[in-house]
Chain A
């Protein structure tokens, strides 16, 4: 067992973890923060995307000990200070960017990383950035619309195929 300490959503947390403990398991099982979803557990679906030191990563493909000392952000920390939905989350609600909702935490975290890097992405750039996030309801168009809206862009410009 190794002891780890990190900042998660602005709060310092620590715990004892095994070498094999994945970041996704540390968040869900040790910290009881189950907003980070495990879809495939093979780093393909993106439901477990979190930010480590500001960068989007797949929590199922990183060990908890590798995040020792890191600044971690998860879906639980995305809301505004007053508890209301942040601009990305609100846009997902407004544009029906989710159906079953399972992929949504990863979608929102990836979208947040994208908009930090590229505040006004084109539709193509959004689609490319979400390559590693799979929605099995296949509700991609509304997810794209939500991210266009969250970045203050014209939503009807997104073509419905």
Chain B
């Protein structure tokens, strides 16, 4: 690998200061970034590790009932500690990658990277979560801006993610067997005022809400409510793992399964 420096600040303030250098890059658990560095697809001259920042760790419950997760919290920790408060979210976290990846990878890293096939963007958008950074709060609806693109500025850190807890939810993933990423993944969340459906892995624009399904499911929360709907193949990802038509088909199938499994 090429040479670079790593800093390990212990506070958000110090991390923000270190990231003011325009060649510096934040490092979460590194499960995507380190392989990317090895391939030199990214070549920052300095990394600022966020995993030593205590105030960005852990799962807690806010006064309004929302589940708050520190940006540097690993998938394994979310799977364990959010299970009682928000089983749909914990279930999603417990199936990201493999066990060793879940022990390092972080929610903030996943959301900042916004891989079009990552799981967490579906949970954040599907829950209507609030992405909290070192300088502001961004609603999930305003946060995701396309494949690997987010509303984050350079050097801005996801310090916390706040999830409203739905009455029922489930994430259904059709796993790409080699990478464990979602070939298509659908997060369904039923709130008192309506249903949200977020789809990852399918669109060339990254995670998106399937609004027709949301309307149908808000009227009737059952897989049957989807029967008349279809998803257009335009703009869906096509690669050796599946055509755009196949992915469009999977969106509906995975949504139906998620609704049936929602608890």
Seen from chain A, the residues whose Cβ lies within 8 Å of a Cβ on chain B are: 2, 18-20, 22, 41-44, 46, 49, 52, 55-58, 61-63, 65-66, 68, 110, 113-114, 129, 131-133
Contacts and interface: CB of A to CB of B under 8 A. Distances in A.
B18 to A, nearest CB: 13
B104 A20 contact: no
Contact of B100 (A58, A63, A66): A58
Interface in B20-36: 30-31, 34-35
Interface stretch (B3-11, B53-61, B140-148, B217-225): B3-11
A61 B36 CA distance: 11
Interface of B: 1-6, 8, 30-31, 34-35, 37-38, 47, 49, 51, 76, 97-101, 103-104, 178-180
Contacts of B100: 43, 46, 49, 56-58, 110, 132
A43 B99 CA distance: 12
A110 B99 contact: yes
Contact of B101 (A2, A20, A66, A132): A132
Contacts of B34: 22, 43, 61-63
Contacts of A133: 98
Given A18-B3, A20-B3, A61-B31, A113 B8 contact: no
15 contacts: A20-B2, A42-B35, A43-B31, A43-B101, A46-B100, A56-B100, A57-B100, A58-B101, A61-B34, A61-B35, A66-B6, A132-B97, A132-B100, A132-B101, A132-B180
B176 to A, nearest CB: 12
Contacts of A63: 6, 30, 34, 49
A4 to B, nearest CB: 11
Nearest 5 A-B pairs (CB), nearest first?
A132-B98, A19-B6, A55-B103, A131-B98, A20-B1
Contacts of B2: 20
Contact of B99 (A18, A52, A68, A132): A132
A57 B97 CA distance: 12
Given A19-B3, A131-B180, A65 B8 contact: yes
Contacts of A49: 100
A49 B99 CA distance: 10
A113 B99 CA distance: 9
Nearest to A52: B103
Among A18, A56, A61, A131, the one with the most B-chain Cβ atoms within 10 Å of its Cβ is A61
A22 B35 CA distance: 11
A1 to B, nearest CB: 10
Contacts of A65: 6, 8, 49
